[in-house]
Amino acid sequence: MRLLTLPLFIFISIVTSAQNDLTRKELYHDTYKPEEIIDSVYGIIKYEPLNMMLGDKSTRLDANGYAANGFLEDYYTTGELLHKGFYVDGQLKVYKNYYPNGNMERNFRMTDIKKSKMTLFYKDGTMKSDIQYIENEALKWVDYYPNGMIEFEEEYDKSFQYYIKKANYYKTGTPENVLELQDKKKLIYLQTYYHDNGQIKEQGQVKYNKALFDYERSGIWKKFDKNGAAIGQDKYINGVAN
């Protein structure tokens, strides 16, 4: 009996495995041409509507018409892995997309019930964006040039009412314009504009006006030439030069 039972068990396992493989191919493997799914500016955005935290609540269905659950994979028509994500009731909780060369295009993951993180990459593997979310709002966002230098960054207070920091950078990595919170109680900032050689171009105080939801220049603003020499100044009251 034991000699007969073992082969039967193996046979059943093989059949079950084959059925699972067939189901996997049917449910998990959609295929796309690279040129039809990779946007030259935004990358692979097909799956963003399915994002549980950030999407428009679109739902992915399996071959039987039910909301997809578990890990699903999609491939390029050339055979390389395009997408792997974990679906819950048809929506993505965690996922990674890939370029045809095997490098990751983006990586999204939920860190807790309200927080999530998205990292995006250029085709050569260089970081493109690093974003932290609370629910569906970006708390901190950093963009990079293809050469790896920071292009832009912004960070909000957790209430999302005002900036902690906002900055733009030249391709060389030197700052172009930096707004940084100095006094949290009074919501007073220091804003600095730079020449492309790194020297300060203009600098002064900014105050956030809660009533107008706007950032207004305040006090004395000083101006400098590319060699760092002072060339003038303006006085501002409620955002208006006097």
Q: What are the C-alpha distances in Å from 226 to residues 5, 193, 196?
A: 86, 12, 8
Count the residues in the chain: 242
Q: Which amino acid is at 182?
A: Q
- Strands 150-156 and 163-169 turn out to be antiparallel
Residue 12 pLDDT = 34
Q: How many domains does the chain have?
A: 1
Rounded Cα distance, 208 and 38, in Å: 40
By percentage, how much of the chain surpasses pLDDT 70?
88
pLDDT of 197 over the 50 cut: yes
Coil, helix or strand at residue 7: helix
Q: Kindly state the tokens that stand for 112.
A: 């807790």
Rounded Cα distance, 105 and 72, in Å: 17
Coil, helix or strand at residue 120: strand
Taking residues 3-31, report their average pLDDT: 45
| 227 phi, psi to nearest 5 deg | -95, 0
Q: What are the C-alpha distances in Å from 139 to residues 46, 122, 157, 194, 221?
A: 23, 22, 7, 26, 29
Q: pTM surpassing 0.75?
A: yes
Residue 107 pLDDT = 98
The pLDDT-based confidence of 28 (bands split at 50, 70, 90) is low
Taking residues 212-233, report their average pLDDT: 95
Q: What is the pLDDT of residues 94-107, one digit of tens each?
A: 999 999 999 999 99
Taking residues 170-183, report their average pLDDT: 97
Q: What is the pLDDT of residues 72-94, one digit of tens each?
A: 999 999 999 999 999 999 999 99
Domain with residue 59: its CATH number is: 3.90.930.1
Rounded Cα distance, 166 and 154, in Å: 4
Q: Which amino acid is at 85?
A: G
The per-residue b/e assignment along 201-220, b for 16 or more CB within 10 angstroms, e otherwise, is bbbbbbbbeeeeeebebbee
Q: What is the pLDDT of residues 228-239, one digit of tens each?
A: 999 999 999 988
Task: Please enumerate in sequence order all residues whose Cβ is within 8 A of that of 41, keeping only pairs 6 or more positions apart, or say none.
Answer: none
pLDDT of 11 over the 60 cut: no
Q: Give the range of the structural domain holding residue 9, as residue numbers without chain letter.
A: 2-241
